Structure 1
């Protein structure tokens, strides 16, 4: 795909919109867990955790893997991006650690705290992606953000043109996210 300002702006808007959806969903889970913990509603608390863990492994972590595969190497190759990407990868590792805490929390307090921490770290992480990484790539005349994202449905929240499962975009959505050792997420 040829580099066009319009295509890249549209791609950037799609990434930012998908980030907002991910953050809203994660915030909703964190609120639901906190409310269940405050009401001492153990059955609902553990149901919410199960739903959150399923969502984390089905949506959030594949999104992070896709970013690491599609965006981070290109951004890191730019002089202004290397240290930024190293920091973003460290945040992915922190996010992975908090996912592990959510999965393994044994008490309502530990679970609610881990979910709230995960939402907070993720929110700060998204600000950097939206305001630093994405603009870095959009402003690069030799990079097509739209081209980088072509088929990367985990980044923009839409399935590939063929619909359904991943159409060979390379994001690995059909794989078990925990089996990807090339990623820093969950390290």
Structure 2
């Protein structure tokens, strides 16, 4: 009887890990869509020579980056990356992912310091492109590495980490980018 419970628990744990992986991928899609929306809004404001709207969008984007995207990256570095790096094939992959986090941070700084519409729109578009490639690697390489590791519970690693997967409901989240229903500090990215 105990053997059956262990098998059932293993099946339940695998199901929880797959659900956690799906939540991470869904949250990544929401992050990418929000960032793309900001980049598009900045480009349109720059093309329309609408300086007030351009700088308003930049401020909203910077707020979102510091309130949502960068905390997401820091949470990955703390919770997922060390465990993934400890896997037999994980060290080089995670070294590359960390290097991309540095590049993302550099692009955030470039965006914050942009002094012209062209520089701002270009930095936002570059950030969006780098982030999309980074997320594809996380979704297709890092998350499966953790799900397939026999000694790792992805669901356990993510337990309580809203910055990685977003909230399942709207109980107090104020990020505005995870799809949890909160309006967030800057409202919708598409305003």
- Compute the RMSD of aligned alpha carbons: 1.7
Cα shift readout 1:56-86 (whole Å, capped 9, x = no counterpart): 0000000000000000000000121100000
Gaps of 5+ in 2: 1-8, 175-191
Q: Report the Cα offset of residue 159 of structure 1.
A: 6.9
CA-to-partner distance for each residue in 1:18-67, whole Å, 9 max, x for gaps? 00000000000000000000010000000000000000000000000000
Q: TM-score, normalised by structure 2?
A: 0.83
Partner residue of 1:164?
A: 172
Instruction: Indicate the residue corresponding to 1:174 in structure 2.
Output: none
Q: Equivalents in 1 of 2:80, 2:169: separation in Å?
A: 17
Runs of 4+ in 1 over 2 A off after TM superposition: 163-166
Contact preservation (8 Å) 1:159, 1:165:
no
> For residues 127-177 of structure 1, what are the alpha-carbon distances to aligned partners after superposition, in whole Å with 9 as ceiling and x for unaligned?
00000000000001110000000001100011799x4379xxxxxxxxxxx
1:43 aligns with 2:82: no
Q: CA deviation at 1:92?
A: 0.2
Contact 2:27/2:164 (8 A) holds in 1: yes
Specify the alignment match of 1:140 in structure 2.
149
The aligned residue for residue 95 of structure 2 is 86
Checking the alignment, whether the CA contact within 8 Å between 1:151 and 1:160 is kept in structure 2 is no
Equivalent residue number for residue 56 of structure 1 = 65
Instruction: Write the distance in 2 (CA, Å) between the matches of 1:117 and 1:79.
Output: 32
Gaps of 5+ in 1: 167-187
Structure 1 equivalent of residue 86 of structure 2: 77
Count of aligned pairs between the two proteins: 164
Question: Contact (CA 8 Å) 1:75, 1:133: kept in 2 or not?
Answer: yes
Rg larger in structure: 2
